[in-house]
Structure formats: C-alpha cells, structure tokens
Amino acid sequence: MPQSRPFVSLATDFGAAYTAICAGVVYGIAPDANVLVLSDEITPFDVREGAMLLRQALPYLPVGVHVGIVDPGVGTSRRPLAIVTGRGDVLVGPDNGLLVPAAEALGGIAGAYALENPAYRLPGVSTSFHGRDVFAPAAAHVAAGVDAADLGASVEPLPLDVPPPVIRPGELTVPVLYTDRFGSQVLGAERGDLAAAFGTLEPGTPLDVEWNVADAPSRTIRVPFQLTFGSVAVGEPLLWTDSSGWLALGVNQGRAIEVLGLAGARTLTLRAVPHP
C-alpha cells in the first residue's frame, strides 16, 4: 500500500453498531490503519445495491483494502474471499458477486483467494457474523502487510447475478439494479446502451416506459430523457444518466418507486415514441 498509513474501508448492510465492531477488529490488528466506514446502510440482503455502491465509490477512494459485506449466505458453503485488483487494491467479502463490479472498475481482477488460513481469522468463528470473525481480520492483516496469496487457495470469483440489457432498434429492456435512498430506480443500462437502441437522445426526448409487477396488469408511462431533475417540474418523472453512469428513473423531489407504483418491478422496457 503506498500510503504511510494503510487505508481500509467498510461497506455493509449491518447498521452502525455491527459495522463499528468490524472497525474495532481492524484497529486491534492494524492499529495504524485509517479506517473509513463508507456505508453501513446498504439495504439488507441487497447484493446488487451493495455491488453498485462499491463500483461507484471505490475508484474515488485511496488504494487500500476495501471490505464489502452483504452476505445472505453467511454460514453456508459460500466462500469468503479476497480479490486483488489491477490498481493494487484488495477487496474482501463474500463470494456472491458483490465485489466483482468494483474489481472490474479498479483495473480488473489480478488474483482472488479464499479466506481459509486460520491464522488470519479470529480464534472463534461464528456462523452468522463473518464480518467480525473472517472479513475484518483478513482485511486488517492485509493492511498490516500480509500478502493476499497467504490467505488461502487461488479461486475464480462468482459473477454478480445481473442480466444484461436487451437492445433492439427503438427498444431497450433493462434490469432494475436497486432503489436509491431518494426512491429512484437505478437501471442496468449505460449511455452506450441508450445510443445503441435509440441513437442520439436529445434532452427532452420522450420515451415510453413499461413494467410489470406481480398480480397486476402492465403499466406504461411517457417520460422525457433529461440531463437533471430540475429539467422537469416538481413531481414529474424523468429518465437521466446518474453520476455512476447508469440510466435511472426518478421523480423531481419525489419517490418514483411510490409515485409511479414501481415496487416489485424487476425489469423496465423503454420504447421510442412513434412520430405522429
């Protein structure tokens, strides 16, 4: 690590108290570390949301050891692992796809290792708090100078389970990645996907957006593609490209998931509006 003080970040769905315990474990093993709690508010069990947070945030953090924990499979046969990135970071967390998008954003996966070596765990490992007993100790030991390859056997990380966008002329079907704290839906498509489906979209171009939720008929609304929230009136919807580069559906000063009835939607289909 290039810093005089090793840098460790923590992103979890634990809430403040359990995340603070993990930070305490890091400090106990690597007392010189600079530890940042990136977030303890990821929606519980939402691996996609956690993965997108790490993908968006970690390129702006110093090179270091970054712990990500959204772990519905804790205590099962899922592997704990550390991923070494091309930039030089080490990402620590469960092998459920959570770490992979961030690793790709940090120069790609240069190596990945199962957290198997008992020397780099706490003496007693619980079945439900691997953040404390497995992930935080491993991260702290790496921050203190242990080579990631000493943590365990080389492995191939599992990818994040997100379907790709489906692109057709004048139509784009996209997965919902997560709902942000403002109630906007962040979608699994980027600017290039929009261009592939619709060509150059000028601000104000309307698109029809269709979605389904369980036990209800499909719904379609017409939404303008805009650059920012202030381009539409308060309470009105818009599509825009958010700060992480993903397409998003929101409402100016409102919660799109509630205003538009999007709760439960897993995919959205965008269509060009026919010319009159």
pLDDT, residue 274, reads: 85
pLDDT digits (tens, 9 = 90+) for 33-48: 999 999 999 999 999 9
* 206, 72: one domain: no
CATH number assigned to the domain comprising residue 104? 3.40.50.10790
pLDDT, residue 3, reads: 53
Report if residue 179 sits inside a domain.
yes
pLDDT digits (tens, 9 = 90+) for 57-85: 999 999 999 999 999 999 999 999 999 99
CATH number assigned to the domain comprising residue 194? 2.40.30.90
Spatial contact of 271 and 170, defined as CB atoms under 8 Å apart: yes
Report if residue 119 sits inside a domain.
yes
Report if residue 231 sits inside a domain.
yes
pLDDT, residue 216, reads: 77
pLDDT, residue 1, reads: 43
pLDDT, residue 217, reads: 83
* 116, 195: one domain: no
pLDDT digits (tens, 9 = 90+) for 115-144: 999 999 999 999 999 999 999 999 999 999
Report if residue 93 sits inside a domain.
yes
* 143, 73: one domain: yes
Lowest mean pLDDT among 6-15, 133-142, 214-223: 214-223
* 49, 128: one domain: yes
Buried-state track 28-66, b at ≥16 Cβ within 10 A, e below 16: ebbeebebbbbbbbbeeebbbbbbbbbbbbbeeebbbbb
Distance CA 150, CA 8 (A): 19
Report if residue 2 sits inside a domain.
no
pLDDT at 221 over 80: yes
* 62, 182: one domain: no
Record the tokens describing residue 70, joined without a space. 């959204």
pLDDT, residue 2, reads: 45
* 248, 180: one domain: yes
Total domains in the chain come to 2
Range 218-239 average pLDDT: 96
Report if residue 170 sits inside a domain.
yes
* 128, 177: one domain: no
Using a CB cutoff of 8 Å and minimum separation of 24, what contacts does 23-29 make? 23/136, 25/122, 25/132, 25/136, 25/137, 25/140, 26/136, 26/139, 26/140, 26/143, 27/140, 28/140, 29/137, 29/140, 29/141, 29/144
Record the tokens describing residue 168, joined without a space. 């057709």
Report if residue 161 sits inside a domain.
no
Of 91, 123, 150, which residue is a domain's last? 150
Which position has the token pair 């060509």? 199
Of 105, 123, 150, which residue is a domain's last? 150
Helix axis angle for 136-143 and 16-29, nearest 10°, is 40
Spatial contact of 264 and 218, defined as CB atoms under 8 Å apart: no
pLDDT, residue 66, reads: 98
Domain span including residue 16: 7-150
Range 167-187 average pLDDT: 96
Record the tokens describing residue 125, joined without a space. 């490992």
* 18, 129: one domain: yes
Range 254-273 average pLDDT: 95
Please provide the DSSP assignment of 126-156 as one string: -SS-HIIIIIHHHHHHHHTT--GGGGS-B--
Report if residue 116 sits inside a domain.
yes
pLDDT, residue 58, reads: 98
Distance CA 66, CA 260 (A): 36
Of 123, 150, 177, which residue is a domain's last? 150
| Beta pairing class for 166-168 and 109-114 | unpaired
Per the prediction, the chain carries an average pLDDT of 96
pLDDT, residue 213, reads: 83
* 27, 128: one domain: yes
Record the tokens describing residue 217, joined without a space. 């008929």
Confidence of residue 214 (pLDDT cuts 50, 70, 90): confident
pLDDT, residue 26, reads: 98
* 146, 175: one domain: no
* 124, 16: one domain: yes
* 185, 251: one domain: yes
pLDDT at 92 over 70: yes
